[in-house]
Amino acid sequence: MGTCKFCGTTEKVISEVLQVCRNCILQGDWSKIKPHILNVHAQVRKLVGLPERPPKAARPNIKLKCNLCINECCLSEKDISYCGLRNIELRASGELPYPSKSNGYIHGYIDPNPTNCCNGWFCPAGTSSGYPDFSNLKGPEFGTFSYAAFLYGCTFNCLFCQNASHKFFSKRNLFDIETLANQIVKNEKITCLCYFGGTPEAQLPFSINLAEKIIEKIKNKKRIMRFCWEWNGSGNRDWIEKCMQIALKTGGNIKFDLKSFNEKLNLALCGVSNKRTLNNFRFLAEKYFGTRGNDMPEMSACTLMVPGYTIHEEVELIAEFVSSINENIPFSLLIFHGDYQMRDLGITPRKQALKSFEVAKKYLKNVNLGNKFLLGLT
Ligand SMILES: [Zn+2]
């Protein structure tokens, strides 16, 4: 465990790479802490060839303006987008074409249902909900598959990233929607498709277009095919609403990772503000949650309990925020295990996990403790 660079404490859980305790992040001198935090993220990103911050080129040097996510990159000749997917020089040389409506950087594979999806505890693949309109079986959909659409690139820079392989891709990972759609439609045992990553925000037009293509191909068949998005919520409002509408009509759902409530904590852990995420969550939940009128929640929230940082006080703020919109929105708390730049933190202490679980249940009716096996619980 590290030492807090600002208050000197070694008593608390302090990430070695971040070098600042939760207390100082939230209550310390922000004029000193913010540059430190941004610098930590910049150094970590340099190691993997990503730009330190979202590029903000000024006129007349702008070659590409992207508004898919909160970072709203403006790229000049030499720039790379924050997500890493748009690189002006490599595109010019043909080495790395931009993702588009028809082509995406993706690693797709099939997973037997019910999968370890964070929403498996309430969705049609893992329960009897949605039967018979949106599910083939009255009970978990054994014998069927989920198409896991792992999308490369991310709009955040979480120091604890549990899928850091999304940062490493090449032209070999670029696929066109026609090929993918045919492949997915051909396997009749696939009943759902889940976009995750990275985060889908960096490739929203591709993900929407692929879903629409598949829907078009199966429209005259009696085929169940649910579409879900699992994301950090930082996307452009018009695009994310399209995803919501596809999830809604196909029996799928949208999972928001609400990593923090405090913006300062989000900056520290994930390098980017969570303002857009919280606003998007509120927008979609107020407009769509409960509108399907059946036993299938349209949306959910999920929080990873980072030891020492995303403690029960943070979970309480998140749960309170979610319940202020609707107390029936499903909420999953996930046990953390050390990964990427935060391998030194170990797993969420049992006490922190159980306390957070109890606190969340004070606000919300549907709370689930995921990854319980990490604590030896069943
Ligand atoms: Zn401190």
Distance from Cα 269 to the centre of ligand 1, integer Å: 15
Which pLDDT score, from 0 to 100, does residue 375 have?
81
Average pLDDT over residues 275-303: 96
**Signed CA dihedral, 124, 126, 281, 359: sign only:** positive
Query: What's the 22 CA to ligand 1 centre distance in angstroms?
Result: 7
If you measure from the C-alpha of residue 331 to the centroid of ligand 1, how many angstroms do you get, rounded to a whole number?
30
Q: What are the backbone dihedrals phi and psi of residue 125, each rounded to the nearest 5 degrees, phi first?
A: -70, -25
User: pLDDT class for 105, splitting at 50, 70, 90?
Assistant: very high
How confident is residue 374, by pLDDT bands cut at 50, 70 and 90? confident
Alpha carbon of 305 to ligand 1 centroid (Å): 19
What are the residue ranges of helices labelled H in the chain? 22-27, 30-47, 88-92, 177-186, 204-218, 237-250, 263-270, 275-288, 312-325, 350-363
Ligand 1 centre to CA of 304 (Å) is 22
Q: How far is the CA of 37 from the centre of ligand 1 (A)?
A: 13
> 15 C-alpha to center of ligand 1: Å?
11
73 pLDDT band, cuts 50/70/90, is very high
Ligand 1 mean position, distance from CA 307 (Å): 15
Give the pLDDT confidence of 15-72 residue by residue, as tens digits.
999 999 999 999 999 999 999 999 999 999 999 999 999 999 999 999 999 999 999 9
Task: Give percent above pLDDT 90 in the chain.
Answer: 84
Which residues are bridge partners to 229 per DSSP?
195, 254
227 touches 252 (CB < 8 A): yes
List Cβ neighbours of 145 (8 Å cut-off, separation of 6 or more).
110, 111, 112, 113, 187, 189, 190, 191
User: Of all residues in the chain, what percent carry a pLDDT higher than 70?
Assistant: 99
Q: Calculate how far, in angstroms, residue 45's C-alpha sits from the geometric centre of ligand 1.
A: 24
Distance 273 CA to ligand 1 centre (A): 21
- Give the angle subtended at the CA of 221 by the CAs of 220 and 222, to the nearest 5°: 125
User: What count of other Cβ atoms lies within 10 Å of the Cβ of residue 84?
Assistant: 23
**322-331 average pLDDT score:** 98
Lowest-pLDDT choice from 124-133, 170-179, 346-355? 124-133
CA of 20 to the centre of ligand 1 (A): 5
Please tell me the predicted confidence (pLDDT) of residue 10.
87
Beta carbons of 337 and 343 less than 8 angstroms apart = no
Band of the pLDDT at 378, cuts 50, 70, 90? low
Asked which of 44-58, 71-85, 132-146, 318-332 is least confident by mean pLDDT, the reply is 132-146
| Ligand 1 centroid from CA 10, angstroms | 9
What is the C-alpha separation between 242 and 59, in angstroms, rounded?
Answer: 31
Q: Quick one: pLDDT at residue 211?
A: 98
**Non-local CB neighbours of 39 within 8 Å, separated by 6+ positions:** none
Separation of CA 303 and ligand 1 centre (Å): 23
Query: What is the structure's pLDDT at 42?
Result: 98
Cα(308) to ligand 1 centroid in Å equals: 11
- Cα-to-centroid distance, 5 and ligand 1 (Å): 7
Ligand 1 centroid – CA 30 distance (Å): 12
Range in 80-84, 90-94, 105-109, 373-377 the model is least confident about: 373-377
105: three-class secondary structure by DSSP: strand
Q: Would the pLDDT of 11 be above 90?
A: no
Mean pLDDT computed over 106-117: 92
Mean predicted confidence (pLDDT) in 128-140? 88
Please state, rounded to an integer, the average pLDDT across all residues of the chain: 95
Q: Residue 97: is the preceding peptide bond cis (ω within 30°)?
A: no
Contact 166, 148 (CB under 8 A): no
Give residue 16 CA to ligand 1 midpoint distance, Å: 13
